[in-house]
Amino acid sequence: MIKGEYRTIFATRILLIIGALGDESTAYLKSPCAPGHYGPECLGSCTCSRIENCSPFTGECAENLQCSQEYVAQQCQKGVINMKCPEDPGWWYWNGSCYYMEETNSLTWLEAKNYCTAYNGTDLLLLDSAEEKAWVTSVLQKPVWIFSLGASQSDAEKSSRKNQHVTLSPTKSTAPDSCDQLNANGSLNQINCSSLAFWVCERREGDSMFWKYSGRLLTKPSGRDTYSSLEFALSACILKADCTGVTYWGKRYIPVTGKELIFSKNRQDAVYLRSACSKGHYGAYCQKKCPTCLNHTVCNRLTGLCDGTVTCQERKKLELCEYRLTSKFCFASWKYWNGNCYYVPPYGVLNKSEAEFMCSRFQGAQLIKLNSTEEQGFQSSSRFVCAD
Protein backbone atom coordinates (compact mmCIF):
# COMPACT_ATOMS: atom_id res chain seq x y z
CA MET A 1 0.00 0.00 0.00
CA ILE A 2 1.46 3.36 -1.13
CA LYS A 3 -0.32 6.64 -0.35
CA GLY A 4 -3.56 4.79 0.39
CA GLU A 5 -3.49 2.94 -2.94
CA TYR A 6 -3.30 -0.86 -2.89
CA ARG A 7 -1.34 -2.63 -5.62
CA THR A 8 -0.85 -6.32 -6.38
CA ILE A 9 2.83 -7.02 -7.07
CA PHE A 10 4.82 -10.14 -7.88
CA ALA A 11 8.12 -9.78 -5.99
CA THR A 12 10.44 -11.72 -3.70
CA ARG A 13 12.24 -8.97 -1.80
CA ILE A 14 11.17 -6.32 0.68
CA LEU A 15 12.97 -3.07 1.43
CA LEU A 16 12.69 0.14 3.39
CA ILE A 17 11.62 3.32 1.61
CA ILE A 18 13.68 6.32 2.70
CA GLY A 19 11.78 9.59 2.94
CA ALA A 20 8.28 10.76 3.85
CA LEU A 21 6.77 8.24 1.45
CA GLY A 22 8.09 5.45 3.63
CA ASP A 23 5.69 6.43 6.42
CA GLU A 24 2.79 6.02 4.00
CA SER A 25 3.80 2.60 2.66
CA THR A 26 3.00 -0.89 3.94
CA ALA A 27 3.64 -4.33 2.42
CA TYR A 28 1.32 -7.31 2.94
CA LEU A 29 3.11 -10.54 2.04
CA LYS A 30 1.55 -13.86 1.07
CA SER A 31 3.37 -16.61 2.97
CA PRO A 32 2.51 -19.50 5.31
CA CYS A 33 5.64 -18.87 7.39
CA ALA A 34 5.42 -17.54 10.93
CA PRO A 35 7.26 -14.26 11.59
CA GLY A 36 11.00 -14.86 11.78
CA HIS A 37 11.04 -17.88 9.47
CA TYR A 38 11.44 -18.26 5.72
CA GLY A 39 11.95 -20.70 2.87
CA PRO A 40 9.83 -23.28 0.98
CA GLU A 41 9.11 -25.20 4.19
CA CYS A 42 9.64 -22.28 6.59
CA LEU A 43 12.71 -23.98 8.07
CA GLY A 44 15.03 -20.98 7.83
CA SER A 45 15.52 -18.68 10.83
CA CYS A 46 15.96 -14.96 10.22
CA THR A 47 18.81 -12.86 11.61
CA CYS A 48 17.06 -9.49 11.28
CA SER A 49 16.98 -7.00 14.14
CA ARG A 50 13.16 -7.19 14.03
CA ILE A 51 11.39 -10.34 12.87
CA GLU A 52 8.72 -8.36 11.01
CA ASN A 53 11.50 -7.08 8.72
CA CYS A 54 12.39 -10.59 7.56
CA SER A 55 11.35 -11.66 4.06
CA PRO A 56 9.48 -15.00 4.34
CA PHE A 57 10.69 -15.79 0.82
CA THR A 58 14.45 -15.27 1.05
CA GLY A 59 15.27 -14.50 4.71
CA GLU A 60 16.67 -11.11 3.69
CA CYS A 61 16.21 -8.24 6.12
CA ALA A 62 14.24 -5.24 4.87
CA GLU A 63 16.52 -2.88 6.76
CA ASN A 64 19.47 -4.09 4.66
CA LEU A 65 17.84 -2.78 1.47
CA GLN A 66 16.88 0.89 1.35
CA CYS A 67 15.28 2.71 -1.59
CA SER A 68 15.06 6.50 -1.98
CA GLN A 69 11.47 7.61 -2.36
CA GLU A 70 12.09 9.22 -5.77
CA TYR A 71 12.71 5.76 -7.24
CA VAL A 72 9.51 4.13 -5.95
CA ALA A 73 7.66 4.93 -9.18
CA GLN A 74 10.24 2.74 -10.96
CA GLN A 75 9.63 -0.08 -8.43
CA CYS A 76 13.10 0.68 -6.99
CA GLN A 77 14.96 -0.80 -9.92
CA LYS A 78 17.38 2.05 -9.30
CA GLY A 79 18.39 3.99 -6.22
CA VAL A 80 18.73 0.98 -3.87
CA ILE A 81 21.41 0.97 -1.18
CA ASN A 82 22.37 -2.32 0.49
CA MET A 83 23.89 -2.18 3.97
CA LYS A 84 26.03 -5.19 3.00
CA CYS A 85 27.69 -3.16 0.24
CA PRO A 86 30.62 -0.79 0.97
CA GLU A 87 29.35 2.28 2.78
CA ASP A 88 31.22 4.81 0.65
CA PRO A 89 28.87 7.06 -1.40
CA GLY A 90 28.38 5.90 -4.99
CA TRP A 91 27.76 2.20 -4.28
CA TRP A 92 24.41 0.85 -5.50
CA TYR A 93 22.73 -2.54 -5.24
CA TRP A 94 21.06 -4.68 -7.88
CA ASN A 95 20.15 -8.36 -7.92
CA GLY A 96 22.66 -9.68 -5.40
CA SER A 97 25.60 -7.49 -6.41
CA CYS A 98 27.05 -4.12 -5.43
CA TYR A 99 28.13 -1.62 -8.09
CA TYR A 100 30.28 1.48 -7.85
CA MET A 101 29.74 3.85 -10.77
CA GLU A 102 32.27 6.64 -11.17
CA GLU A 103 31.17 9.37 -13.56
CA THR A 104 33.14 12.33 -12.20
CA ASN A 105 36.83 11.37 -12.26
CA SER A 106 38.60 9.71 -15.20
CA LEU A 107 41.36 7.08 -15.06
CA THR A 108 43.20 4.75 -17.40
CA TRP A 109 41.92 1.17 -17.57
CA LEU A 110 44.62 -0.16 -15.23
CA GLU A 111 44.18 2.69 -12.76
CA ALA A 112 40.42 2.02 -12.73
CA LYS A 113 41.03 -1.68 -12.15
CA ASN A 114 43.39 -0.92 -9.24
CA TYR A 115 40.77 1.44 -7.81
CA CYS A 116 38.25 -1.39 -7.79
CA THR A 117 40.57 -4.09 -6.40
CA ALA A 118 41.42 -1.89 -3.42
CA TYR A 119 38.07 -3.21 -2.19
CA ASN A 120 38.22 -6.89 -1.27
CA GLY A 121 36.51 -9.23 -3.74
CA THR A 122 35.97 -6.37 -6.19
CA ASP A 123 36.97 -5.81 -9.80
CA LEU A 124 35.84 -3.95 -12.89
CA LEU A 125 32.37 -4.94 -14.04
CA LEU A 126 32.13 -8.14 -16.08
CA LEU A 127 28.68 -8.39 -17.70
CA ASP A 128 27.07 -11.80 -17.35
CA SER A 129 23.44 -11.32 -18.43
CA ALA A 130 21.26 -9.19 -20.66
CA GLU A 131 19.35 -8.08 -17.56
CA GLU A 132 22.52 -6.85 -15.85
CA LYS A 133 23.60 -5.01 -18.99
CA ALA A 134 20.17 -3.36 -19.28
CA TRP A 135 20.25 -2.26 -15.64
CA VAL A 136 23.80 -0.87 -15.81
CA THR A 137 23.21 1.06 -19.03
CA SER A 138 19.98 2.51 -17.64
CA VAL A 139 22.07 4.23 -14.99
CA LEU A 140 25.02 5.28 -17.15
CA GLN A 141 25.32 8.60 -18.91
CA LYS A 142 28.82 8.26 -20.39
CA PRO A 143 31.19 5.44 -21.52
CA VAL A 144 32.88 3.45 -18.74
CA TRP A 145 35.73 0.96 -18.44
CA ILE A 146 34.65 -2.63 -17.77
CA PHE A 147 36.62 -5.84 -17.37
CA SER A 148 38.48 -6.90 -20.52
CA LEU A 149 39.46 -10.54 -20.95
CA GLY A 150 42.18 -9.57 -23.37
CA ALA A 151 43.76 -6.79 -21.33
CA SER A 152 47.09 -7.14 -19.54
CA GLN A 153 46.39 -9.66 -16.78
CA SER A 154 47.83 -13.00 -15.77
CA ASP A 155 46.40 -16.16 -17.31
CA ALA A 156 45.22 -17.27 -13.85
CA GLU A 157 43.24 -14.05 -13.38
CA LYS A 158 41.63 -14.31 -16.81
CA SER A 159 40.64 -17.93 -16.13
CA SER A 160 39.24 -17.04 -12.71
CA ARG A 161 36.99 -14.30 -14.04
CA LYS A 162 35.84 -16.47 -16.94
CA ASN A 163 34.83 -19.19 -14.48
CA GLN A 164 33.01 -16.72 -12.23
CA HIS A 165 30.78 -15.44 -15.02
CA VAL A 166 29.32 -16.57 -18.28
CA THR A 167 30.07 -13.35 -20.10
CA LEU A 168 27.31 -11.78 -22.16
CA SER A 169 29.42 -10.44 -25.00
CA PRO A 170 33.08 -11.14 -24.21
CA THR A 171 35.53 -9.32 -26.41
CA LYS A 172 39.10 -10.31 -26.94
CA SER A 173 41.40 -7.42 -27.56
CA THR A 174 42.91 -7.36 -31.04
CA ALA A 175 45.83 -5.41 -29.59
CA PRO A 176 47.54 -5.69 -26.21
CA ASP A 177 46.79 -2.04 -25.47
CA SER A 178 43.02 -2.22 -26.18
CA CYS A 179 40.43 -2.40 -23.41
CA ASP A 180 36.63 -2.59 -23.30
CA GLN A 181 34.34 0.38 -22.78
CA LEU A 182 30.60 0.10 -22.26
CA ASN A 183 28.50 2.92 -23.69
CA ALA A 184 25.24 4.22 -22.26
CA ASN A 185 23.40 2.81 -25.31
CA GLY A 186 24.69 -0.70 -24.49
CA SER A 187 27.33 -0.97 -27.23
CA LEU A 188 30.91 -2.09 -26.55
CA ASN A 189 33.98 -0.37 -27.92
CA GLN A 190 37.67 -1.23 -27.75
CA ILE A 191 39.69 1.80 -26.72
CA ASN A 192 43.38 2.32 -26.00
CA CYS A 193 43.90 1.28 -22.37
CA SER A 194 45.89 4.44 -21.66
CA SER A 195 42.91 6.63 -22.49
CA LEU A 196 40.99 8.28 -19.66
CA ALA A 197 37.42 7.23 -18.90
CA PHE A 198 34.94 6.63 -16.10
CA TRP A 199 34.45 3.10 -14.74
CA VAL A 200 32.17 0.62 -12.95
CA CYS A 201 33.27 -1.71 -10.12
CA GLU A 202 31.35 -4.85 -9.10
CA ARG A 203 31.34 -7.15 -6.08
CA ARG A 204 28.95 -9.69 -4.63
CA GLU A 205 26.67 -8.54 -1.81
CA GLY A 206 28.30 -9.02 1.60
CA ASP A 207 31.69 -10.24 0.31
CA SER A 208 34.29 -10.08 3.08
CA MET A 209 32.93 -7.15 5.07
CA PHE A 210 34.43 -8.46 8.34
CA TRP A 211 37.99 -9.55 9.12
CA LYS A 212 38.83 -11.84 12.02
CA TYR A 213 41.78 -11.08 14.32
CA SER A 214 42.28 -13.80 16.97
CA GLY A 215 43.54 -12.73 20.37
CA ARG A 216 42.60 -9.11 19.70
CA LEU A 217 39.61 -6.91 20.34
CA LEU A 218 37.95 -3.58 19.75
CA THR A 219 36.55 -1.70 22.76
CA LYS A 220 33.52 0.55 23.37
CA PRO A 221 30.41 -1.66 23.15
CA SER A 222 27.66 -0.20 20.96
CA GLY A 223 24.76 -0.34 23.40
CA ARG A 224 23.97 -3.19 25.76
CA ASP A 225 23.01 -5.90 23.29
CA THR A 226 25.16 -9.03 23.18
CA TYR A 227 24.63 -12.16 21.09
CA SER A 228 25.31 -15.87 21.31
CA SER A 229 25.37 -16.07 17.50
CA LEU A 230 28.09 -14.46 15.40
CA GLU A 231 25.69 -14.17 12.45
CA PHE A 232 23.17 -12.20 14.52
CA ALA A 233 25.90 -9.92 15.88
CA LEU A 234 27.31 -9.18 12.43
CA SER A 235 23.82 -8.40 11.14
CA ALA A 236 23.26 -6.01 14.05
CA CYS A 237 26.61 -4.32 13.40
CA ILE A 238 25.82 -3.74 9.72
CA LEU A 239 22.70 -1.79 10.68
CA LYS A 240 24.60 0.61 12.96
CA ALA A 241 26.46 3.40 11.20
CA ASP A 242 29.02 3.76 14.01
CA CYS A 243 29.66 0.02 14.49
CA THR A 244 33.27 -0.84 13.64
CA GLY A 245 33.13 -4.56 14.30
CA VAL A 246 32.14 -7.37 16.65
CA THR A 247 34.25 -8.44 19.62
CA TYR A 248 34.01 -12.01 20.98
CA TRP A 249 34.39 -11.63 24.76
CA GLY A 250 33.21 -13.87 27.58
CA LYS A 251 31.59 -16.30 25.12
CA ARG A 252 29.38 -13.50 23.74
CA TYR A 253 29.52 -11.49 20.53
CA ILE A 254 29.38 -7.74 21.14
CA PRO A 255 29.01 -4.98 18.49
CA VAL A 256 31.54 -2.25 19.22
CA THR A 257 32.53 1.26 18.09
CA GLY A 258 36.24 1.32 19.00
CA LYS A 259 38.79 1.68 16.22
CA GLU A 260 42.08 0.51 17.75
CA LEU A 261 43.05 -3.18 17.61
CA ILE A 262 44.07 -4.22 21.12
CA PHE A 263 45.69 -7.39 22.45
CA SER A 264 43.65 -9.47 24.89
CA LYS A 265 45.14 -11.58 27.66
CA ASN A 266 42.57 -14.23 26.83
CA ARG A 267 43.60 -15.79 23.51
CA GLN A 268 40.07 -17.12 22.98
CA ASP A 269 38.92 -13.55 22.45
CA ALA A 270 38.69 -12.30 18.88
CA VAL A 271 37.43 -9.37 16.87
CA TYR A 272 35.67 -9.21 13.52
CA LEU A 273 36.67 -5.81 12.16
CA ARG A 274 34.23 -4.21 9.74
CA SER A 275 35.88 -3.10 6.52
CA ALA A 276 35.42 -3.71 2.79
CA CYS A 277 39.08 -2.96 2.06
CA SER A 278 41.58 -5.43 0.63
CA LYS A 279 44.67 -6.36 2.60
CA GLY A 280 47.07 -3.43 2.64
CA HIS A 281 44.37 -0.79 2.03
CA TYR A 282 42.33 1.45 4.31
CA GLY A 283 40.46 4.74 4.48
CA ALA A 284 37.79 6.37 2.32
CA TYR A 285 37.10 4.27 -0.76
CA CYS A 286 39.96 1.99 0.44
CA GLN A 287 42.37 4.09 -1.64
CA LYS A 288 45.04 4.64 1.02
CA LYS A 289 47.86 2.10 1.35
CA CYS A 290 49.03 0.71 4.67
CA PRO A 291 52.59 1.24 5.90
CA THR A 292 54.90 -1.73 6.47
CA CYS A 293 54.08 -3.04 9.95
CA LEU A 294 56.77 -4.80 12.00
CA ASN A 295 57.13 -6.87 15.17
CA HIS A 296 53.74 -8.61 15.26
CA THR A 297 51.79 -5.43 14.56
CA VAL A 298 49.14 -5.37 11.84
CA CYS A 299 47.76 -2.63 9.67
CA ASN A 300 44.36 -1.53 10.90
CA ARG A 301 41.99 -1.36 7.90
CA LEU A 302 40.05 1.40 9.70
CA THR A 303 42.86 3.79 10.62
CA GLY A 304 45.92 2.69 8.62
CA LEU A 305 47.96 2.51 11.84
CA CYS A 306 50.14 -0.46 12.83
CA ASP A 307 48.26 -1.75 15.87
CA GLY A 308 49.57 -4.34 18.31
CA THR A 309 51.40 -2.54 21.13
CA VAL A 310 48.41 -2.04 23.47
CA THR A 311 47.04 -4.72 25.82
CA CYS A 312 43.79 -4.85 27.79
CA GLN A 313 44.30 -5.74 31.46
CA GLU A 314 40.56 -6.15 32.16
CA ARG A 315 39.19 -9.71 32.32
CA LYS A 316 35.50 -9.35 33.22
CA LYS A 317 33.76 -6.43 31.50
CA LEU A 318 34.58 -5.25 27.98
CA GLU A 319 33.21 -1.76 28.70
CA LEU A 320 35.98 -1.30 31.31
CA CYS A 321 38.72 -2.41 28.98
CA GLU A 322 39.51 1.01 27.51
CA TYR A 323 40.24 2.28 31.04
CA ARG A 324 42.66 -0.57 31.81
CA LEU A 325 45.04 -0.45 28.86
CA THR A 326 48.83 -0.65 28.90
CA SER A 327 51.23 0.01 26.05
CA LYS A 328 54.78 -1.12 25.26
CA PHE A 329 55.58 2.52 24.56
CA CYS A 330 54.39 3.85 27.92
CA PHE A 331 56.48 3.90 31.10
CA ALA A 332 55.94 1.06 33.56
CA SER A 333 52.83 1.61 35.76
CA TRP A 334 51.48 4.22 33.28
CA LYS A 335 48.05 3.86 31.70
CA TYR A 336 47.29 4.12 28.00
CA TRP A 337 44.27 5.86 26.51
CA ASN A 338 43.50 7.14 23.02
CA GLY A 339 47.09 7.35 21.82
CA ASN A 340 48.56 8.91 24.97
CA CYS A 341 50.23 7.68 28.17
CA TYR A 342 49.04 8.78 31.62
CA TYR A 343 50.50 8.45 35.09
CA VAL A 344 48.07 8.50 38.01
CA PRO A 345 50.01 8.58 41.32
CA PRO A 346 48.72 6.23 44.04
CA TYR A 347 49.30 8.74 46.88
CA GLY A 348 47.57 11.85 48.17
CA VAL A 349 47.03 15.45 47.13
CA LEU A 350 49.83 17.75 45.87
CA ASN A 351 49.72 21.41 45.01
CA LYS A 352 50.20 22.45 41.39
CA SER A 353 53.93 23.15 41.68
CA GLU A 354 54.58 19.80 43.33
CA ALA A 355 52.45 18.02 40.71
CA GLU A 356 54.32 19.75 37.85
CA PHE A 357 57.65 18.75 39.41
CA MET A 358 56.48 15.16 39.79
CA CYS A 359 55.50 14.98 36.11
CA SER A 360 58.74 16.62 34.94
CA ARG A 361 60.73 13.71 36.36
CA PHE A 362 59.46 11.62 33.43
CA GLN A 363 61.00 12.45 30.07
CA GLY A 364 58.52 14.21 27.77
CA ALA A 365 55.75 14.29 30.41
CA GLN A 366 53.78 17.23 31.78
CA LEU A 367 50.76 17.91 33.92
CA ILE A 368 47.68 16.97 31.91
CA LYS A 369 45.72 19.55 29.92
CA LEU A 370 42.25 18.22 29.21
CA ASN A 371 41.41 18.44 25.51
CA SER A 372 37.96 16.82 25.40
CA THR A 373 35.04 15.72 27.54
CA GLU A 374 36.02 12.10 26.79
CA GLU A 375 39.49 12.66 28.22
CA GLN A 376 37.95 14.42 31.23
CA GLY A 377 35.72 11.40 31.79
CA PHE A 378 38.70 9.07 31.57
CA GLN A 379 40.59 10.98 34.29
CA SER A 380 37.64 12.17 36.40
CA SER A 381 38.56 10.16 39.48
CA SER A 382 42.25 11.17 39.59
CA ARG A 383 43.73 13.81 41.90
CA PHE A 384 46.39 14.81 39.38
CA VAL A 385 47.68 13.18 36.20
CA CYS A 386 50.85 13.33 34.12
CA ALA A 387 50.53 12.90 30.38
CA ASP A 388 53.14 11.92 27.83
| Domain residue limits, the chain | 1-82, 95-208, 210-312, 331-387
Specify the CATH number for 95-208; select among 3.40.1360.10, 3.10.100.10, 3.40.640.10, 3.10.290.10. 3.10.100.10
CA angle 301-305-308, nearest 5°?
95
One digit per residue, pLDDT tens: the chain, 388 residues?
456 677 676 666 677 787 766 666 777 788 889 988 998 889 988 877 777 778 888 887 877 888 888 777 777 777 888 889 999 999 999 988 999 999 999 999 999 999 999 999 999 999 999 999 999 999 899 999 999 875 544 444 544 444 444 445 545 555 678 999 999 999 999 999 999 999 999 999 877 799 999 999 999 999 899 999 998 899 899 989 899 999 999 999 999 999 999 999 888 999 999 999 999 999 999 999 999 998 889 999 999 999 999 999 998 999 999 889 999 999 888 889 888 888 887 766 788 888 888 888 888 888 887 777 777 777 665 555 677 7
User: Is residue 247 within 8 Å of 349, Cβ to Cβ?
Assistant: no
For 53, 151, 167, 177, 332, the CA distances from 174, given in Å and listed in that order, are 51, 10, 18, 9, 66
User: Is residue 262 within 8 Å of 217, Cβ to Cβ?
Assistant: yes
Output the CATH code of domain 210-312.
3.50.4
